[in-house]
Amino acid sequence: MDPKERRSRATEGFFGRRHGKTIRPQQAAALESGLGAYGLDLSADAPAELRTLFAADVSTVRLEIGFGGGEHLLHRATEAPAAGFIGVEPFVNGMAKLMMAVREKPLANLRVHNDDATRLLDWLPQASLDGIDLLYPDPWPKKKHWKRRFVSPLNLDRFARVLRPGGKFRFASDIDTYVNWTLLHCRAHGALLWQAEDAADWHRPYEGWPGTRYEAKAIREGRRPAYLTFVRK
Ligand SMILES: C[S@@+](CC[C@H](N)C(=O)[O-])C[C@H]1O[C@@H](n2cnc3c(N)ncnc32)[C@H](O)[C@@H]1O
């Protein structure tokens, strides 16, 4: 897709809510100043060397798509200051929550995007990411809505383009049909190989896993999470 087309197209991968409860004035102020400081400008070309996007001297760059309230992203960015993190979340209240947190404790290894992740993926240079986390994406459990799921042949092409060889795509979900869907789509795609060490592997959380807000709800409601890791060939 040429850069002009890429920037003008309507959102294609986001079907959720952009707004929840009215945000408080303090949150609105944190959101405005936070997006000014951490937000990426997709109207300019991406730097050839993605690490230069960060104030910190980072050696790797990871992406989290749909970070919700940002709890997992904050945990990862705080525990690994030498890695750069890009977080994407179109839901305004989620972004406001993260921007409140970084107002208290700034992070030099964080950047964000407040729109559909497909736009950011198309903006990124080829083989520029070390990892992509898609944690509890909107499940769209009804069959007639499956085509809205973020995992699709087109988005797996996007992942394969921006991940460097050896880079990891991590997918967690509590919805069995989405887990199977992702395994089948990645197998059909061919560039992303499922890394399972043994039969219990997919129920074992990732190293240093802090959980997510959505996961806590799923467990409370009796659903069992699965944690998949795919490696870019
Ligand atoms: C079920 S929530 C999970 C949130 C968080 N990862 C967690 O586990 O608590 C899914 C999130 O993905 C976001 N989302 C949906 N479509 C998206 C897209 N195309 N690009 C980026 N984020 C998206 C939603 O706004 C929502 O916050």
List, in order, residues 6 or more apart from 219 with CB less than 8 Å away: 174, 225
Mean pLDDT across 103-110: 98
Q: Which of 115, 131, 42 is nearest to 83 (CA)?
A: 131
- The residue from 133, 138, 174, 198 that is catalytic is 138
What band does 112 get if pLDDT is binned at 50, 70 and 90?
A: very high
* Contact (Cβ atoms closer than 8 angstroms) between residue 175 and residue 37: no
Instruction: Give residue 143's region: left, alpha or beta (phi > 0; psi -120 to 50).
Output: alpha
Pocket-forming residues, ligand 1, beta carbon under 6 Å: 13-14, 16, 65-68, 88-91, 94, 116-117, 135-138, 150, 212-215
What is the residue with the minimal CA distance to atom 16 of ligand 1? 14
Looking at residue 220, what DSSP letter applies? Answer: H
**Which residue from 89, 148, 209 has its CB within 8 A of the most atoms of ligand 1, so it is best to mutate?**
89
- Three-state secondary structure call for residue 166: strand
Mean pLDDT across 143-168: 97
- The model's pLDDT over 7-57, given as tens digits with 9 standing for 90+, comes to 445 567 778 788 888 899 999 999 999 999 999 999 999 999 999 999 999
Closest ligand 1 atom number to CA of residue 135 = 6
Partners of residue 110 on adjacent β-strands:
85
The confidence score (pLDDT) of residue 174 equals 97
**Which residue from 118, 152, 214, 217 has its CB within 8 A of the most atoms of ligand 1, so it is best to mutate?**
214
**197 Cα to the center of ligand 1, angstroms:** 28
**67 Cα to the center of ligand 1, angstroms:** 6
Mean pLDDT across 136-152: 95
Looking at residue 39, what DSSP letter applies? Answer: B
What is the residue with the minimal CA distance to atom 7 of ligand 1? 214
The confidence score (pLDDT) of residue 175 equals 96
The confidence score (pLDDT) of residue 8 equals 47
Cβ atoms within 10 Å, residue 228: 21
Closest ligand 1 atom number to CA of residue 139 = 1
Question: What is the Cα–Cα distance from 27 to 49, expressed in whole angstroms?
Answer: 32
The confidence score (pLDDT) of residue 11 equals 64
Question: CA-based angle 210:81:158, to the nearest 5?
Answer: 75
**191 Cα to the center of ligand 1, angstroms:** 24
Question: What is the Cα–Cα distance from 226 to 120, expressed in whole angstroms?
Answer: 26
Cβ atoms within 10 Å, residue 13: 20
Q: Which residue has the tokens 């069959």?
A: 143
Is-catalytic flag, 41?
Answer: no
Percent of the residues in the chain that have a pLDDT greater than 90, as a whole number: 88
- The model's pLDDT over 173-182, given as tens digits with 9 standing for 90+, comes to 999 999 999 9
Residue 96 predicted with pLDDT over 80: yes
| pTM (two decimals) | 0.95
What is the residue with the minimal CA distance to atom 24 of ligand 1? 66
